Amino acid sequence: MHTDQERCVRAVQSKDARFDGWFFTAVVTTRIYCRPSCPVVPPKPENMTFYPSAAACQQAGFRACKRCRPDTSPGSPEWNQRADLVARAMRLIADGVIDREGVPGLAARLGYSTRQVERQLLAELGAGPLALARAQRAQTARLLIETTALPMAEVAFAAGFSSIRTFNDTVREVFALSPSELRSRHPKQPVTTPGVLALRLPFRAPLNPDNLFGHLAATAVPGVEEWCDGAYRRTLRLPYGHGIVALAPRPDHIACRLTLSDMRDLPVAISRCRRMLDLDADPVAIDDQLRTDPLLAPLVDKAPGRRVPRTVDEAEFAVRAVLGQQVSTSAARTHAARLVTAHGEPVEDPEGGLTHLFPSPGALAALDPASLAMPRTRRTTFTTLVNQLADGSLHLGVESDWEESRARLLSLPGFGPWTVDVIAMRALGDPDAFLPTDLGIRRAAQQLGLPSTPAALTARAAAWRPWRAYAVQYLWATDGHPINFLPV
């Protein structure tokens, strides 16, 4: 979008928050870059230059605006609606891969050469992988500086910087303030329990929390997830340790309370929580497309801004999808809870009732199949899945190619279209995944006057593309199932 000068200027002049994260406005006279909704008087059009990323602005010598704080914008929805090389690379960068494995590790995960990855990122985003990772480190550093009382040395390493000097230089360059000056601009933070952070996760309005938190709470696995005091809480398996997160909907943000065993996991934890809640979606574009169907339009108008509830762990969700085949939500939770108790890693939760991390694929691959209380055919499906996840022959991470992953899953015994599409929708993040054979979808279709046979419904749903996963949420919401209601 940043190449459409006229459209970008209109968005800036109208202070349209819908475009925050889509592009950034750099002002050549002040050398400052802003989000489109910046509250200051818009500059003259001839003084505006537009960039596709904060990293590109920083590379061009612009510093972040102190009023609108462009580094806190929601992420671009492009990276959640695409599965090409650039989108997959951006998801991996957000997941902290460069800080842990470097650019060669990023390229290896994507299956391309380092040169090819750098070339494509530079062409589309105006910045290479190192610059994009640096911008993310700066954002994390600012967050820690302003919201915690951590010593600056701990902030530097928790944000992913290799040295305190690099940390100081980057903060000064990006924000035109030293780390100490940045902290002094905000109220002094009280000393809190080590590893505990309270954050605000932004999103593009509108956001309907009913089905989003309702689904997560209704399917919560005891010991791993819970709904407590108006918040969805769960344990997190992270690269350097583990964590517990509490997420609660607010009118203009998601309140997030993170408890981490290692602060280096902060950017990864934030990225995974945003992804689970689908916070980088563009609800206006999605709902406008779905409204073109006269039978869907009343559902969208009644409760706009529905998101797709996703996951913080793709392998975990695939396992849970198999456990949920042909059984009720309650039975699926019971099966999962038994696995958690027997094979999950214990964690301490002084603030609630969480007890374990969900078992890793390696732990599940080592269990005795005879101990599984499920039919033999589903037992075969389960053991085949966890074995392939454990030995690395099946990858379901953020770097996954959606079509390739679908094909791999369909080749496994016991994996039909419904299971594969549920995993594609909620684990892989495909916004166009569709469930025409789902009983709830067929009931909703019949109630609304849509075609109820899978083939006919799929043909009708072609007009909803590329947002069929969101249409699924609106169709599910016609039912009285607990997944559609915010817990009380």
- On whether the 5-72 domain is CATH 3.40.10.10, my answer is yes
Round to whole Å and give the CA distance between 219 and 295: 29
**Taking the CB of residue 326, how many other CB atoms lie within 10 A of it?**
10
What are the 10-residue block averages of pLDDT along the chain, 488 residues in total?
Answer: 88 91 94 95 95 94 92 84 91 93 95 95 94 94 87 92 94 93 82 81 94 96 96 97 97 94 93 96 95 97 97 97 89 93 95 96 92 87 96 91 95 96 96 95 96 95 97 96 90
pLDDT at 384: 96
pLDDT at 20: 92
**Are 297 and 291 contacting, i.e. CB atoms less than 8 angstroms apart?**
yes
Output the CATH code of domain 78-184: 1.10.10.60
438 tagged catalytic: yes
pLDDT at 212: 96
From 8, 34, 38, 256, the catalytic residue: 34
Tokens of 339: 């696995």
pLDDT at 189: 67
Round to whole Å and give the CA distance between 398 and 396: 7
Tokens of 391: 């030995």
CATH fold match for the domains 78-184 and 278-488:
no
Q: Is the peptide bond before 359 cis (omega within 30 degrees of 0)?
A: no
Domain ranges of the chain: 5-72, 78-184, 278-488
Strand pairing report for 231-237 and 225-228: antiparallel
**Taking the CB of residue 25, how many other CB atoms lie within 10 A of it?**
29
From 71, 265, 278, 438, the catalytic residue: 438
Round to whole Å and give the CA distance between 440 and 456: 16
Round to whole Å and give the CA distance between 232 and 93: 26
The residue type of 146 is E
Tokens of 255: 């309140």
Across the strands, what pairs with 23? 20
pLDDT at 83: 86
Q: Which helix (H) or strand (E) holds 231?
A: strand 231-237
What DSSP assignment string belongs to 373-400?
A: -S-HHHHHHHHHHHHHHHHTSS--STT-
Round to whole Å and give the CA distance between 71 and 134: 12
Tokens of 237: 């398996």
401 tagged catalytic: no
Round to whole Å and give the CA distance between 376 and 19: 51
pTM of the complete model beyond 0.75? yes
- On whether the 278-488 domain is CATH 1.10.340.30, my answer is yes
Q: Is the peptide bond before 151 cis (omega within 30 degrees of 0)?
A: no
